[in-house]
Structure 1
Amino acid sequence: MSLFEHADFDQHEQVSFFHDKESGLKAIIAVHNTKLGASLGGCRMWPYASSQEALTDVLRLSSGMTYKAALAGLPQGGGKAVIIGNPRSDKTQQLMYAMGKAVDTFKGQYVIAEDSGISVQDLQFMATQSHHVAGTSAKFAYDGSPADGNPAPSTAYGVFMGLKAAVEHATGSDLNGKTVAIQGVGHVGLRLARHLKNAGANLIVADIFAEGLEIAKNELGATVVDPNDIHAVDADVFAPCAMGGAINNASLSQIKAKIIAGAANNQLATPEMDVLLKQRGITYVPDYLINAGGIIDIFHQRNDSTAEKMRAQLEQIGQTVKLILGRAQAEDLPTGQVANQIAEEKFRA
């Protein structure tokens, strides 16, 4: 397995592979950049087809966290972790202990948090082996509701603010009567669906699991379609909220929506998709900009802050979306390129 020649290796500071025979842990932790501060990023557990696929994911996700923190104005760097395995069948308490020990080897230069396949309880198990675990509990929630450490509510609210801003920029109107196609109605996607429904939007949803679909259909009146078709439905907005790579050579020509704004990381299969979306007249909101709510939440929980301050920074995501979309339009550039430039000015200065 080649690392330094890997297409997604981007001057990463450290990439470590971990294997624990007793628990069965197979994991990779990548620290991309700590120029602005210690790296923070979630842990994803997924049944990757190969270790090469897992490496690609962790390299892309960790670099995305650096850009995400920089655009959000947070004094921290980017890192990420992946565990190879099915979170519904392979996860054990011993596995989480082993992962906590792996995190501790970074001595605080990487702080782990929640991502797909990992729960607050999993993080609590990791925290018995390392002090460098975030999201095990919370002091407050942005909306005053009970908080348990899960940053998904803040992520969903930030995505909603960014999506709403994108619709206002592209159409000059609000979400009322607009149709949003949501790919993935898990912890974040379902919460986003509720925000959109309350704003008057019509919903089309898809997922590989039934739980979220039933709620979206029965509670929110969403139309359910096959996961293979969600990107191609007639909608004003396509919101990828599942795994990465939703915008690729196969899906690009089938997308009818004129706005792409969702919670998923690494939505573009390749960087070139940014240019191709612009050529097709599709307004793309860079994923690491719009889905920064989770790390904003964690930052405020770990520092002397309040629910009001956190909510204000979450809502700032919408203003940053308008800034970047406006600048991209004025300079006739792809939105991702503009967002990258602004972020890099901060962490590569």
Structure 2
Amino acid sequence: MANRIILNATSYHGEGAIKEVPNEAVKRGYQKALIVTDADLVKYNVVSKVTELLDARGLAYEVFDQTVPNPTISVVKAGVAAYQKAGADYIIAIGGGSPIDTAKAIGIIATNPEHADVLSLEGEPGTKNPTAPIFAIPTTSGTAAEVTINYVITDESNHRKFVCVDPHGIPAVAFVDSDMMMSMPKGLCAATGMDALTHAIEGYITNGAWELTDMMHIKAIEIVGRSLRASVAGDAKGREDMALAQYIAGMGFSNVGLGLVHGMAHPLSAWYNVPHGVACASLLPTIMKYNAGYTGEKYRDIAKVLGVKDADTLSLDDAREAAVAAVAQLGKDVGIPQTISELGVKEEDIPAIAKDAFADVCTGGNPRGTNVDEIISLYKSLL
């Protein structure tokens, strides 16, 4: 079987990376950008760090700041209208996963108008044309949306999130600048950082994993393990390290898929508007334990890079238990909720939520086969 890797054409990393935005726009001959972001990033002068660079070079742009957490169909449609009205020929996405995912949907519909309903982008839509060019500038260290072919949209009328998997949707250029992430509050830093860890762990054990992506994922786990606590504390080096870790994880999982943590997290966001990173982090240790017997030696590898003492000489069962414990402790240390009741989940909703989780595209990549009844039990164990 052939394994495929799709990455950005170009990416810039490190403090000051955004200074390359106008250079890339000029080099590529782009005339006008639609900046896709959210109102808070405009209010707190994060977006201005980019627009000042564009202004200095006389580059035209308009700002669409209506994106919301867990982006919705209606917001995507408003963004498409804004792109067309602006006469833009490229998009600059500034934000976490929500603005970047919104930008992907806007860009795809701009060049594939037959998908203007948005719903038809679910799964692998088989779009004919690449997205309108996207420059992606993350402001959180977790989603890796800037390097992935995936994006997630919420069908608000049906309380359902759906995943779109489209090689045509990957941003042309990523600017991973840790300075853009320094304004993250601690809670957001913790949640997105644990999302990055979830990406790396699920990508490492997913059914589609192979040696090249294993290399990416185990390195990402190592960096998160040593850097997330410092990043949450506001340490600049910690945030720079986490910016790299989440990108490396994205390089991997975008190409091999994820698993049951994401399958179960998506409905929590759709039903209760729980931030995606918080949902993943709250589920991760329990689902790791559920999968443990189906992962070979990989939990030993995880334990080693997370600093578990004597991980090499532990029995396999003990090594697996230690890996789960290390991940759980990291989540506790950075303040992740330990029950889904804290996220507003109601027991009476669980059977319906479990059906959505079982149907989620990510669930199929889980190393252990599952069913709706087992997912119900897993949710209930976390109440």
Largest Rg, 1 or 2: 2
Q: Quick check: TM above 0.5?
A: no
Q: If each structure's helix is expressed as a fraction of its own residues, which one has the higher value?
A: 2
Q: If each structure's strand is expressed as a fraction of its own residues, which one has the higher value?
A: 1
